[in-house]
Structure 1
């Protein structure tokens, strides 16, 4: 809104039409909605306004741009007009239909919208449409550009397409939770077909390159998503256009993916994308995720805007049901240690009448989804375990005085949580179970032979070993993934002497 003077707004007597004009004498702005620092009675009248396709937005930050205001409405439908009141930190947004406006207001009633990390307030306007003067050329130009993105046949769209790359460069700030390829695909596919994604870490920041099939889709996604949070209050998207016009993807794994070529190898020992899954993605980038994670229209639009967590939005809790366990071997502690690789386990309950099953409560639904995606189908103590989302919202502790034979444990205050520190680097080192384990916090006097013997005694065969240069960390490769899982369960937090405890996690590397 730089360079735009205050806008004087008035309501024509006897009508609901809103007029906008600029004049040398319009030093003050007035508006009949009366929601700017007005009396409670005026605010009450605004809040009681019936549904309208005109949305009144208040408490905007001073530096908010028209594009950022438009981005609030863009995921819910076509934006047909905008009126800004810089002096009052307000704006009016006119949606293409009343239905789109209702969806937008309903969603923002439950999730507070933010612009530049400042909460803004949204409600229906008393006005049924905006009738604005075209003299404010910059505002109209912004609206025209957005309309071009929304209208495939317009000439402006062709200009935007010629000037823009179909490849976006994405930086994730404040990365409290891990961001996977599938999360990025789900967010950005709301704006068009995502063809390729490459993720990497540069300057200690998680980054991604994402290629759309059409530059206009990239323009629309950047306008709507730049500055938004993937999860509440964290994982902020910073988006620019890349100088590249095409990405060269060699492998389909957890770091890169070409959705148009499901036959690509995994490379570097990473798990490949199942061909049927890849085919589903390439045919319809929304179908598979939609089937796994159905969203209401409002939630889907909000997910497209990147304002809520995409995992677990269909009412799922942070509680997992784990079945087909080896009831002779499994304990609450073993489940706490294994599932703790993917999030902070709060409680574990082995079912009294079905001891091959357990409930595991994670800190939130995102961690539950992550643990389920990595551990379902893995082999633990000789049995392939099944991990699904539970209908329970919490794991109940036994009643006072009731002996449940130690089947229920509360780990809420455990010092062994890997992710209790906000922004922990551990979030950037979460990998699927593999035969190679990453060891850290190794005492200086511990040798390779000591560690080989320790892990062999855990019931496995050590195939390879490699110290890092500082000898505080190492990689150790077991003969199978199952052996690595058992070694992690047995030896994570193992006391190496001198109150130094070994840290064990899965590695993406091979030796």
Structure 2
């Protein structure tokens, strides 16, 4: 084996600090357990794209893994910075290598066999080498999901929303077995199933409950006969509901078009099927990530030009600090890492005040408050005792109503004497056009649709907690519904 270094002088690269190595499609993996196999190292990269080469340094417990593209390597590194990778239950470390490619001795037949087997799995074939068993799971597009600690009902729609972040969900069947709620879920591609399992196994759907236990099913194709609240085939909207089952809402059925990718397109901020960087935010709609060790509850938000504390729609904001030397950036401390991940997954890349905002996890664990009298510009605010915290209570119903930014807003706590015209006027004045409005039966809640997602974000920032008189404050959140 030899390494083809991308720099003209090998000694120069040694001066490069480990974390400063520029992106490369070759990744350096350290602290591998002694017994780690090439197959297990390759499996780390499998969900993110094609693996084209591997070099293991057995004596040093290290390996180099070459991905097919630099983009796949970047996605992999971004993901594993928030979710610690493990081989045989041992945490390992992954970083960019200073090498731009690996040159492999073609005589090493075993390595070539392993790579060919991976290739066969990725292209839908079936390997016949000794790595078949280790890679067999990756060739099944069907996951078996068990929900533990199910304190709240988990619907088929919740599962679809969570798992569709990782690829196109084709079919879901839910059932109860051994007094446990279970589901079989089929992706369009085995790689997406592998990625979803990697990101979601062991995570909680709602805070501290509804834990996902995920395995690969031996089935490779599901047979769905009915579209109802127990089973669904997203590729066949015409299926009947079955005896005594509620039929699908026509607008929902219309969304299940033959082009099943179009459903993903209807979810603002939906992830590219292989965008595993955001799989870190496995929130994927509503998942509250179990706090990863070392993960931060502090977000760095950049490209702003207005106040940002309405991140509270995705959790309880504790503190906000606008950076002194960079006024378009702020540190935002959420109450825990779960909420930070959730906010990041939904808000990164959204348009706010005409700018695309960027949301990343900060290296800071907390936002420090200034000493008395030292913050004369008022750049730091403490919201710890704010009455607006929606998520203080563990298992609060509010956790079930967290959705990506959308043009439709859900309004609640509306006084009885407030009319549709009043609310239309209020939201028009926030800057934008109200396209549709619909009161719920009791008139305490309503759906209001703005003409764009950006207008809805602006309206939520301006009008959540708006005083409607008589000390009644309007509650505004994003809705998954359309009018």
State TM-score, norm by structure 1.
Answer: 0.48
| Corresponding residue number in structure 2 for 1:318 | 297
Rounded to whole Å, the distance in 2 between the matches of 1:357 and 1:47 is 23
Q: 1:211 aligns with which of 186, 193, 198?
A: 186
Q: Does 1:161 align with 2:136?
A: yes
Rounded to whole Å, the distance in 2 between the matches of 1:265 and 1:31 is 59
Q: 2:272 aligns with which of 293, 304, 321?
A: 293
Kindly state the Cα deviation for residue 425 of structure 1 after the two structures are TM-superposed. Answer: 1.7
* Farther-moved stretch of structure 1 (495-504 vs 211-220): 211-220
Kindly state the Cα deviation for residue 355 of structure 1 after the two structures are TM-superposed. Answer: 1.0
Kindly state the Cα deviation for residue 188 of structure 1 after the two structures are TM-superposed. Answer: 10
Q: How many residues align?
A: 470
Rounded to whole Å, the distance in 2 between the matches of 1:379 and 1:81 is 39
Alpha-carbon contact 2:46-2:191 (below 8 Å) kept: no
User: Secondary structure of 1:360's partner?
Assistant: strand
Rounded to whole Å, the distance in 2 between the matches of 1:139 and 1:87 is 17
The two structures, once aligned, show a CA RMSD in angstroms of: 12.0
Kindly state the Cα deviation for residue 106 of structure 1 after the two structures are TM-superposed. Answer: 24
Distance 1:317 1:493, change over 3 A: same
Kindly state the Cα deviation for residue 132 of structure 1 after the two structures are TM-superposed. Answer: 44
Q: Does 1:478 align with 2:450?
A: yes
Q: 1:127 aligns with which of 99, 118, 131?
A: 99
* Farther-moved stretch of structure 1 (77-86 vs 204-213): 77-86
Kindly state the Cα deviation for residue 438 of structure 1 after the two structures are TM-superposed. Answer: 0.6
Kindly state the Cα deviation for residue 374 of structure 1 after the two structures are TM-superposed. Answer: 1.1
Q: Deviations over 1:86-113 (max 9, x none)?
A: 9999999999999999999999999999
Q: Does 1:379 align with 2:351?
A: yes
Alpha-carbon contact 1:494-1:501 (below 8 Å) kept: yes
Alpha-carbon contact 1:455-1:462 (below 8 Å) kept: yes
Kindly state the Cα deviation for residue 502 of structure 1 after the two structures are TM-superposed. Answer: 1.1
* Farther-moved stretch of structure 1 (177-186 vs 237-246): 177-186
Structure 2: unaligned runs, 5 residues or longer: 308-312
User: Secondary structure of 1:186's partner?
Assistant: helix
Distance 1:500 1:108, change over 3 A: closer
* Farther-moved stretch of structure 1 (431-440 vs 489-498): 489-498
| Corresponding residue number in structure 2 for 1:193 | 168
| Corresponding residue number in structure 2 for 1:458 | 430
Q: Deviations over 1:287-342 (max 9, x none)?
A: 999999999999999999999986774743111111111159xxxxxxxxxxxx11
Rounded to whole Å, the distance in 1 between the matches of 2:328 and 2:20 is 55
Rounded to whole Å, the distance in 2 between the matches of 1:327 and 1:51 is 33
Alpha-carbon contact 1:148-1:154 (below 8 Å) kept: no
Q: Deviations over 1:477-496 (max 9, x none)?
A: 11221211111111111122
Distance 1:61 1:438, change over 3 A: farther
Alpha-carbon contact 2:235-2:260 (below 8 Å) kept: no
User: Secondary structure of 1:56's partner?
Assistant: strand
* Farther-moved stretch of structure 1 (454-463 vs 169-178): 169-178
Distance 1:254 1:410, change over 3 A: farther
Rounded to whole Å, the distance in 1 between the matches of 2:415 and 2:286 is 44
Alpha-carbon contact 1:34-1:42 (below 8 Å) kept: no
Distance 1:473 1:37, change over 3 A: farther
Kindly state the Cα deviation for residue 395 of structure 1 after the two structures are TM-superposed. Answer: 0.6
* Farther-moved stretch of structure 1 (205-214 vs 104-113): 104-113
User: Secondary structure of 2:76's partner?
Assistant: helix
Distance 1:257 1:152, change over 3 A: farther
Mark the structure with the bigger radius of gyration: 1
Distance 1:266 1:94, change over 3 A: same
Distance 1:365 1:275, change over 3 A: farther
Kindly state the Cα deviation for residue 476 of structure 1 after the two structures are TM-superposed. Answer: 0.6
Distance 1:255 1:403, change over 3 A: farther
Kindly state the Cα deviation for residue 472 of structure 1 after the two structures are TM-superposed. Answer: 1.5
Distance 1:361 1:124, change over 3 A: closer
User: Secondary structure of 2:256's partner?
Assistant: helix
Kindly state the Cα deviation for residue 382 of structure 1 after the two structures are TM-superposed. Answer: 2.3
State TM-score, norm by structure 2.
Answer: 0.50
Rounded to whole Å, the distance in 2 between the matches of 1:372 and 1:299 is 9
